[in-house]
Amino acid sequence: MIAHVHDNNINYIKTKTGLLSWFVTKDHKRINMMFLISVLIFFITGGIYALLFRLELWTPGTHPLITPDTYNHYFTMHGVIMVFLVVVPGIPSALGNFVLPIQVGAKDLALPKINLTSLYLYWIGGILAIVSLIAGNADSGWTFYAPYSISKNPAVLWMLTAAFFLGFSSILTGLNFIVTVHKMRAPGMTWFRLPLFVWALYATAIMQIFATPVLAITLLLLLIENFFHIGIFDPAMGGDPVLMQHFFWFYSHPAVYIIVVPAFGITSEIIAAFSKKEIFGYKFVAFSSIGITLIGFLVWGHHMFVSGQSEVANTVFSFLTFFTAIPSAIKVFNWTATLYKGSISLQTPMLYGLQILFNFTIGGLTGIILSILSLDVHLHDTYFVVSHFHYVAFGTTIIAFIAGIHYWWPKMTGKMYNEVWGRIASVIVFFGFNITFFPQLIMGSQGSPRRYYHYLPQYQIYHQISTVGVVILALGLVIALVNLLISLRMGATAPQNPWGAHTLEWEAAESPPVLFNFKETPIVTHGPYAFATEKT
């Protein structure tokens, strides 16, 4: 019944040539690589904004070149780009797209045209963000709180629209992943033989589908409020600004799990492969992602403890939030236990993987304290919170993203990067990241508010250490990126399974894979971390 003849004997990069064939492709691997390039470009852009405002923060007073309005614009752009264009889509669309179908043993995602649509929507969102830049200075913060966001600033309106499109890109990716996991698994691939990366992406997809639409309606209502002043969020017209916060955080709390859960999945893959061990407590780890997803829908109010929300509501939200901590903590214990009596190799992906454990421990611990009601009053809207979420969104998610790029680089590109420079970069990144964000914990608990252009001189030392840290961090990231790019030209040819792992992409697909991933449909006979069957 196949109408066209596709050559399944050459790798996906070489099957069809010409730029146009990429832009209209239905191949999940090509779509992934286009997402990857796009996400990296936006990551660099968002990072430059951070460098700029960290420069302003070197001194507590005014800056000759950066005014308060410009500063406010910089942190808004940094936030919007990093959240909506990098960490939310990042791992699912720019790694999951490539890996998930192969890990379940399928020829492609279930809905390839929907996948391409998701990419187009992402690009439209990105273009609208650029239009926003041309239209003016969006300065509402990525959280778009009303009534400040109900302004006549066209740049804010374009940003709201950009986020709207990016939301639908996310929904379609999640939808595609769920259908694929349910309907496209190869023979023998039972649910409990699925790699933990797939479980993580599945849990994430549930959140993408059920939470993101609430963001869509929030953004739409904000746009409508800006144009028609109906009086839903704007108190001047009878609306309630706290209602906007409820709408916003109903999405944005699950969103932070959309951001971090895929990173957990990558961590499992890497810890297993580079310890040559089955993940300790596989089933628990698999179910914990689903558990976090479900509880994650019930805790949005913990972002609003000082908003004037009722004490009863605050108590309930605090109580439930503590329950999200337990599955996450146990995952860390499980990963640590996996190392026990393993055969541990400190290759580049593993160096990043171990960093994740370090950073997430701090990220998790600093999150739990924020659930303690009496302490959150003091810590809310300070640099302590900024540091907490960077330990998770950067220290866990971005590091996992980089780890995953290195881990799957041989598979995606057919090339090996230089291992020495890979390791050097990862060490620099580790120190740069922690030097940047640890001082912010101190500054925050000592009372320094966030989103501040101007600050008390007593905080200057922490700001300066942080700024030095971010320069070191940027250096490490640049080295990592250059190392990867050089490998495309000069890297050694990658073997099919350089890490000796046991998931399908390593055992049954070439590096890079052929067009339909496998020469013939794999029959699965063992679990994803079947190191026990290896013999010396």
Partner 1 sequence: MAATALQEHEVAHHFDDLEQEFDSHKLGMWLFVASEIMMFGALIVGGLFLLYLHPDAFAQGRPRLDWRLGALNTFFLLTGGFTMARAAAFAQKSDQRKIQQNLVLSLLFGFGFLVVKTIEYKAKFHHGLLPGPAFHGEGFTSLHAHVFFGYYFVSTGLHALHVLIGMGLMVWCLILSRKVKFTRSYYTPIELAGIYWALVDLVWLFLFPLLYLVG
Partner 2 sequence: MDTTKLFWLPEKASTFASNIDWVWTLYFWISVAFFVIIIGAIVVFVFKYLRRRPEQLATAQITHNTVLETTWTAIPLVIVMALFVIGMKGYWNMRVAPSNAMVVDVTGRKWVWSFDYPDQGISNDTLVVPVHQPVRLLMTSMDVLHSFSIPAFRAKADVIPGRYNSLWFEATKTGVFQVFCTQYCGTRHSYMWTAVKVVDPDTFNAWVAVASDPSRGKTPAEFGAILYTKKGCIACHQVDGTAGIGPTWKGIWGTMVPLEGGRSVLVDSAYVRKSMLDPGADIVKGFQNVMPTFEGVLSDKEISALTAYIISLK
Interacting residues toward partner 1 by CB under 8 A: 1-4, 6, 106-108, 110-112, 114, 171, 174-176, 178-179, 182-184, 209-214, 216-218, 220-221, 224, 228-232, 237-240, 243, 247, 250, 516
Q: How many Cα atoms occupy the beta-carbon half-sphere of 450 within 13 Å? A: 21
* Length of the chain counted residue by residue: 536
Q: Is 225 in the site for partner 2 (CB under 8 A)?
A: no
Considering only residues 455 to 494 of the shown chain, the ones binding partner 2 according to CB under 8 A are: 455-456
Q: Are 299 and 251 in contact (CB under 8 A)?
A: no
Task: Please list, in sequence order, all residues whose beta carbon lies within 8 angstroms of the beta carbon of residue 377, skipping any fewer than 6 positions away.
Answer: 305, 306
Instruction: Give the one residue of 123, 210, 358, 438 binding partner 2; rule: CB under 8 A.
Output: 358
Partner interacting with residue 213 (select from partner 1, partner 2, none; CB below 5-8 Å by kind): partner 1
Residue 107 interacts with, from partner 1, partner 2, none (CB under 5-8 Å by kind): partner 1
- Cβ distance to partner 2 smaller for residue 135 or 178: 135
* Nearest distance from C-beta of residue 497 to partner 2, angstroms: 13
Q: Are 300 and 249 in contact (CB under 8 A)?
A: yes
Tell me, what amino acid is at 174? Answer: G
CB 350 within 8 A of CB 344: yes
What are residue 168's DSSP bridge partners?
Answer: none
Min separation Cβ 510 and partner 2, Å = 22
- Half-sphere CA count of 298, side-chain side, radius 13 A: 15
Torsion of the alpha carbons at 113, 115, 118 and 119, rounded to the nearest 10 = -100
Which residues sit opposite 392 in a β-bridge? none
Site for partner 2 in 372-431 (CB under 8 A): 372-378, 380-382
Per DSSP bridges, beta strands 492-493 and 415-416 are: antiparallel
Distance, in Å, from the CA atom of 126 to the CA atom of 149, rounded to the nearest integer, reads 20
What is the footprint of partner 2 within residues 33-92 (CB under 8 A)?
68-69, 72
Q: In the set 41, 333, 488, 525, which binds partner 2 (CB under 8 A)?
A: 333
Is 329 near partner 2 (CB under 8 A)? yes
Q: Three-state SS for 449? A: strand
Kindly state whether residue 340 participates in binding partner 2, applying the rule CB under 8 A.
yes
Contact with partner 2 (CB under 8 A) among 66, 179, 229, 278:
278
CA distance 16 to 4: 13
Cα 446 from chain centroid (whole Å): 29
Distance CA(224)–CA(74), nearest Å, equals: 25
Give which of partner 1, partner 2, none residue 277 binds (C-beta under 5 to 8 Å, depending on kind): partner 2
Q: Which of 124, 223, 325, 468 binds partner 2 (CB under 8 A)?
A: 325
Q: Which option in partner 2, partner 1, none does residue 289 bind, with CB closer than 5 to 8 A by kind?
A: none
Choose the one of partner 2, partner 1, none that binds residue 377, judging by a C-beta under 5 to 8 angstroms depending on kind.
partner 2
Report the distance separating Cα 35 and Cα 122, nearest Å.
Answer: 8
Q: Measured from the CB of residue 446, what is the shortest distance to partner 2 in angstroms?
A: 6
Report, in angstroms and rounded to the nearest whole number, the Rg of the chain calculated over CA atoms: 23
Query: Toward partner 2, which CB reaches closer, 147 or 213?
Result: 147
- The site map against partner 2 for 203-222 (x = CB under 8 A) is --------------------
**Binding at 534: pick from partner 1, partner 2, none (beta carbon under 5-8 Å per type):** partner 2
Q: How far is the CB of 186 from partner 2 (least distance, A)?
A: 24
Binding partner selected for residue 526 from partner 1, partner 2, none, CB under the kind-specific 5 to 8 Å limit: none
446 binds, among partner 2, partner 1, none (CB under 5 to 8 A by kind): partner 2
Query: SS in 3 state form for 416-446?
Result: ECCHHHHHHHHHHHHHHHHHHHHHHHHHHHC
Rank residues 177 and 417 by Cβ distance to partner 1 and give the closer one.
177
Residue 287 interacting entry, from partner 1, partner 2, none, C-beta within 5 to 8 Å by type: none
Cβ contact 134:48 at 8 Å: no
